Amino acid sequence: MKSFQTERWAVDKTENTLENHPHIIQASLWINKNEVIAIPTETVYGLAGNARSDDAIKRIFEAKGRPSDNPLIVHISDLSQLEGLVSSVSETAQKLMNAFWPGPLTIVLPKGENVSERVTAGLSTVAVRMPDHEIALAVIAASGVPLAAPSANLSGKPSPTSAQHVYEDLKGRIPGIVDGGSTGVGVESTVVECTGELVTILRPGGITLEELEKVAGAGRVVVDPGLENEKQAPKSPGMKYTHYAPDAPFVLVDGSVEFLQRLVDKEREAGKRIGILTTEERAHVYKADCVIPAGDRSNPESVAQHLYEALRAFNEAGVDQIFGEVFPKTGVGVAIMNRLEKSAGGNIIKE
């Protein structure tokens, strides 16, 4: 793998004519050399490379240290870039694009001829989205090509929601990071398959099932039964392997505050440093070596926004074990629990 002196290019997303910003142009030049750079989106930072280039996609997998049997999401800045990327767009898929693009919705469609086989992991479909972030759109437009862009972190680590997170993981592995500040949504996009008229959720994210049903119609949105089946060949990013994990062992606790505190006390009596992942309302209730709140329980969107930041914070705290609270699986809580369950490798203690 190549070694780089990784640069950080600060860009204010409120500036006019971003496509002509020298740092955007610099990033696009690297992309046109089939190298990969990190860019901000409204969900997390992405590791972007030319979706038409086998060499660029190979470099994405090398930089992340990620197996190449997982498909990647292709990011576009204009609907015209779908030409050659996909072979057809169903009426329902078009409705979803009109309603949610730009935004945190990825749509899996029949693939066209002008996309790297490494992007699709050999599947007959390709995952596409239009990010709702001025800098991401400007980089794509300046590059002149659709960009494959998985999260810009080392494989298995919590996804990055700031340029600093990317730098910590990928320093020396990529030539540069376009620093656009902190991201907004926090968890990755919802991924749906829409090759026909039925909408199948492959990965929960920033767009909820209820929001999808309002556009596609009641009863026309289903959840893929393979969502939690890691033995099945993945049709979407984030469906395979333990993801989003902090350095210390992480276990979810489905029970009362008192039950979780007893688990913590037992481990601390054994001499371990213990961390607790909670929310603002309960942060003062627990006694542990490190208590980190991720947003406000009454506002699940804030939990999603701060989730990865909180998981990464435990790495700096030097804890031996982390216990995390669970959340209701409704609305964006479905996406939150999907990420937490993968962070914990499926380990949940019930009261």
Binding residues for ATP, as ranges, are 66, 70, 125, 151, 159, 203, 244
Here the contacts of 59-66 (C-beta below 8 Å, separation 24 or greater) are: 59/2, 59/34, 59/35, 60/36, 60/148, 60/150, 61/118, 62/1, 62/173, 63/1, 63/36, 63/170, 63/173, 63/174, 64/150, 64/153, 64/154, 64/155, 64/170, 65/154, 65/155, 66/150, 66/155
Q: Cis peptide leading into 102, omega within 30 of 0?
A: yes
Binding residues for L-threonine, as ranges, are 43, 75, 129, 149, 189
Provide the residue type at 31 as one letter: I
Say if residues 167 and 90 touch (Cβ distance below 8 Å). Answer: no
Cα(27)–Cα(17) distance, rounded to whole angstroms?
A: 15
Conformation bin of residue 258: beta by default, left when phi > 0, alpha when psi is -120 to 50: alpha
Task: Please tell me whether residue 309 adopts helix, strand or coil conformation.
Answer: helix
Binding residues, as ranges, are 43, 66, 70, 75, 125, 129, 149, 151, 159, 189, 203, 244
Cα(239)–Cα(197) distance, rounded to whole angstroms?
A: 23
Q: Which two tokens stand for residue 134?
A: 């001025």
